[in-house]
Amino acid sequence: MDVDKILAGMTLEEKAALCTGDTAWTTTPVERLGLPAAVVSDGPHGLRRTPENTGLGQRSLPATCFPTASLQASTWNTALVRSVGEAIAEEALAMDVNVVLGPGVNMKRSPLCGRNFEYYSEDPFLAGQLAAALIQGIQSRGVGTSLKHYAANNQEFQRFSIDTRVDERTLREIYLTAFEIAVRQGQPWTVMCSYNKINGTYGSEHDFLLNQVLRGEWGFEGVVVSDWGAVHNRVAALKGGLDLEMPGPKPLRVQAVVDAVQAGTLDVAVLDRAVRRLLEMVAKGQGAQRTQGFDIEAHHALAARVAAEGIVLLKNDGILPLCGVERVAVIGRSAEQPHYQGGGSSHINPTKVAVPLEELRARLGQASITYCEGYPADAAARPDLIGEAVAQAAAAEVALLYIALPSYIESEGYDRQSLDLTEQQVALIKAVSAVQPRTVVILNNGAPVAMGEWIDGVAAVVEAYMMGQAGGVAIAEVLTGAVNPSGKLAETFPEALEDTPAYLNWPGEAGAVRYGEGLFIGYRYYDKKGARVLFPFGYGLSYTSFAYSNARVSADTFMDVDGVQVSVDVTNTGCVAGQEVVQLYVHDCQADLVRPEKELKGFAKVALEPGETRTVTITLDARAFSYWHPDHGRWIAEPGDFTLLVAASSVDVRACLPVTMQVSQPLPSVLDMESTMREWLADPQGKALLAPVLEEMAAASRRLFGEGDGSEGLGLNIMDMFVDTPLVSVLEFRAGALPKPPEAFVADLLQQIRR
């Protein structure tokens, strides 16, 4: 397909039409020029391809429903996530889909966000690495992706209009970093803008985010597409960097673009750039080899493997894995009616579904297994169901409680109101565990739930999240020990909603939500406060144990441009094979601005046989030590001391390695007329220039007060009083000793610095 030739041959009307969808799922073709339509499909964890590109609410074609992002993230396995991408691409090729609308990398600012199951993590580094892997997997087969929802889209409440008010440092370090990693490493074909405003401007027309940051700084070369219905002003969106509005058709929008070009209010060059990007995207899609079908069983098996590797064992008093049990009470309707995906645009019509109860029966052989519903599909109180469950649990050796958070509580489109399970479910768990101490709770949910009322009374808790169509297989394999659980939490489980970082600023009011917690979301917040949590970020149990030893760095002192390598030996000290996730956090010992106590900057998953030792090595570059400095307007890596924390979770630190980083280029001074004494003294150039001035001020104080400086007479420490006062204001108190007025004197110092 000759992009230049097609672009040159297009009329103004055809160009404007191409920038708006033709249907809900296709771009606009230009048949006379041989330009086909491109087909897009929902699909963060599988395809939701509607037949004949019909409307948004139509039942989709059968496709593999993989575990949702929350569970995929718990694998901490980028290679496995890439395999999911490759499988999704194979299905896309079989269904004539050119672009898959995913992955989503928005941060889990609060566990209440109804769409958290579609997002990876509360940590931007982990989310970015996983998203890049999925993108690479899908695009390796000639199918495009759409990284979403850009940006700061962290709640469903008023999602079409809410104004996210966030400072630039927080935006850069927390809410943009995952997008940046995914763009730089994956180069998705498209990036999808979010519905919301960001600091007063809609994401669909945000020049700073779309043109300056996404394209100018990160080098994104693809198409920016709107979320479905996110465009408010088509001409403003084109100027702001949005190429494709979806869904279509929208003839009035097309005409608005034509009118703006003809009136001279929209430069045709802006339109042509958008058209060229769209033509290049369509051309890429034409290069892929379509297939007649895909291997349903192989993809189902992959979905089972992902689920098994992502399931997190939260508690185990020795009851798991189940061995030699003869009487098992299975309780909970999700054992028979599995809850394996979320509601909304990612809802998939699965090729098949593994039923947890059936899969368990197949693996427990001759064991006697009873089943009762335990709780209804709605929120109704059913004491009769609890009574039946108690009777069966009391007669069994072990009770397995399958508990699923209902879809009417968490879904796209609305947020959760609490962290609680239903009242019936809580009452069920408490009643069953009261008569059967050997009780295991298996959870299906998209985000953390409260467990304080019942966790002490149960023997084990298995977090299976929204596990995908083969999740029933995975749960059975983990419960019976066929799979040793290796999932680690990609989000913190708090003890109570009131403990969460965004609690006081959620969900906003008067059309705006203020990100008042700043950088401190997830484990960054709990670390800084020293607060207790139910389960920390990076946590997960195993049926074996791991020892860390011989942690070391490639250099105690290193240059920022060289980076540093961290190595540690990991040994499986238990009796069964298992996998461990080694996590590497960075702590800045002293920074110009406040920083989190530690931040995840590397991880690796290693598989070990019993008694086996392997060396894990993780490389850190300068960015791992950097933070966004608003005064410098860029990422900076300050020279100085850092501690590298080798850990099994955010609170389980196995080794601390001190290092010193030197910088190849000193930072330019950002001192100005408003800079305080503290800021002058912290700046190497400023401190040198200020030294004689301070000496003269000290000499003047000695002449006036003798050996003192007047502190005793004032009842305070003079230096402490003035250290955070602008230098020019401090000099006003010694104006008579200066050769010129304080403002002119400071201006001269600043001029010397900038030479």
pLDDT band at 59 (very low <50, low <70, confident <90, very high): confident
Question: How high is the pLDDT of residue 754?
Answer: 84
State the pTM of this model.
Answer: 0.95
Question: How high is the pLDDT of residue 268?
Answer: 97
Place of tokens 């379509």: 290
Residue 96 bears catalytic tag? no
Q: What is the pLDDT of residues 271-297, one digit of tens each?
A: 999 999 999 999 999 988 888 899 999
Q: DSSP assignment, residue 30?
A: B
Place of tokens 């169901």: 385
Q: Which of 414, 475, 476 is nearest to 444 (CA)?
A: 475
DSSP class per residue in 504-531: GG-S-BTTEEE-TTTT--THHHHHHHT-
Asked if residue 183 lies in contact with residue 147, where contact means CB atoms within 8 angstroms, the answer is yes
How distant, in Å, are the alpha carbons of 63, 130, 198, 289, 306 from that of 82? 18, 8, 31, 20, 11
Domain locations in the chain as residue ranges: 3-41+73-286, 299-529, 546-662, 677-754
pLDDT at 487 over 60: yes
Rg of the chain on CA atoms, in Å: 29
Question: How high is the pLDDT of residue 1?
Answer: 87
Kindly state the average pLDDT of the residues 463-489: 98
Question: How high is the pLDDT of residue 739?
Answer: 80
pLDDT at 720 over 80: no
User: Checking phi first, is residue 468 left (phi over 0); if not, alpha (psi -120 to 50) or beta?
Assistant: left
Question: How high is the pLDDT of residue 690?
Answer: 82
Kindly state the average pLDDT of the residues 7-31: 97
Place of tokens 């200020």: 690
Distance CA(379)–CA(406), nearest Å, equals 9
Kindly state the average pLDDT of the residues 306-311: 98
Question: How high is the pLDDT of residue 149?
Answer: 97
Q: Are strands 640-647 and 578-588 parallel, antiparallel or unpaired?
A: antiparallel
Q: Which of 113-117, 327-331, 711-715 has the lowest mean pLDDT?
A: 711-715
Q: What is the pLDDT of residues 601-647, one digit of tens each?
A: 999 999 999 999 999 999 999 999 999 999 999 999 999 999 999 99
Across the beta sheet with 201-202, the strand order is 201-202, 197-198, 163-165, 512-514
Question: How high is the pLDDT of residue 303?
Answer: 98
Across the beta sheet with 460-463, the strand order is 312-316, 460-463, 439-444, 398-404, 327-331, 368-372
pLDDT band at 53 (very low <50, low <70, confident <90, very high): low
Residue 487 sits at the vertex; the CA angle it makes with 485 and 488, to the nearest 5 degrees, is: 135
pLDDT at 122 over 50: yes
pLDDT band at 697 (very low <50, low <70, confident <90, very high): low
Task: Residue count of the chain, please give it.
Answer: 755
Instruction: Tally the C-alpha atoms within 13 A of residue 53's C-alpha that lie toward its C-beta.
Output: 18
Q: Which of 170-184, 425-439, 699-713 has the lowest mean pLDDT?
A: 699-713
DSSP class per residue in 352-378: ----HHHHHHHHSTT-EEEEE--S-SS
Q: What is the pLDDT of residues 738-750, one digit of tens each?
A: 788 889 989 998 9
Question: How high is the pLDDT of residue 51?
Answer: 85
Identity of the amino acid at 226: S
pLDDT at 589 over 80: yes
Percentage of residues of the chain with pLDDT beyond 90: 86
pLDDT at 696 over 80: no
Question: How high is the pLDDT of residue 52?
Answer: 74
Q: Which of 260, 233, 231, 223 is nearest to 247 (CA)?
A: 231
Q: What is the pLDDT of residues 493-546, one digit of tens each?
A: 999 999 999 999 999 999 999 999 999 999 999 999 999 999 999 999 999 999
CATH 2.60.40.10 matches 546-662: yes
Question: How high is the pLDDT of residue 709?
Answer: 53
Distance CA(488)–CA(314), nearest Å, equals 9
pLDDT at 716 over 50: no
DSSP class per residue in 213-254: IIIIIT---SEEE--TT--S-HHHHHHHT--BB-S---HHHH
Q: What is the pLDDT of residues 176-201, one digit of tens each?
A: 999 999 999 999 999 999 999 999 99
pLDDT at 707 over 90: no
CATH of 3-41+73-286, one of 3.40.30.10, 3.50.50.60, 3.20.20.300, 3.10.20.70: 3.20.20.300
pLDDT band at 714 (very low <50, low <70, confident <90, very high): very low
Q: What is the pLDDT of residues 379-422, one digit of tens each?
A: 899 999 999 999 999 999 999 999 999 989 999 999 999 999 99
Cα 290 from chain centre: 32
Residue 624 sits at the vertex; the CA angle it makes with 592 and 503, to the nearest 5 degrees, is: 70
User: Checking phi first, is residue 640 left (phi over 0); if not, alpha (psi -120 to 50) or beta?
Assistant: left
Tokens matching residue 450? 């409260």
Residue 435, burial from CB neighbour count under 10 angstroms (0-12, 13-18, 19+): middle
**Active-site option among 22, 227, 415, 588:** 227
Q: Which of 644, 525, 651, 660 is nearest to 596 (CA)?
A: 525
pLDDT band at 712 (very low <50, low <70, confident <90, very high): low
Average pLDDT, the chain: 94
Instruction: Look at the domain 299-529 and name its fold.
Output: Rossmann fold (3.40.50)
Kindly state the average pLDDT of the residues 436-449: 98
Tokens matching residue 434? 């009261």
From first CA to last CA, the distance across the chain in angstroms is: 54
pLDDT at 468 over 90: yes
Question: How high is the pLDDT of residue 204?
Answer: 98
Percentage of residues of the chain with pLDDT beyond 70: 95
Q: What is the pLDDT of residues 62-90, one digit of tens each?
A: 999 999 999 999 999 999 999 999 999 99
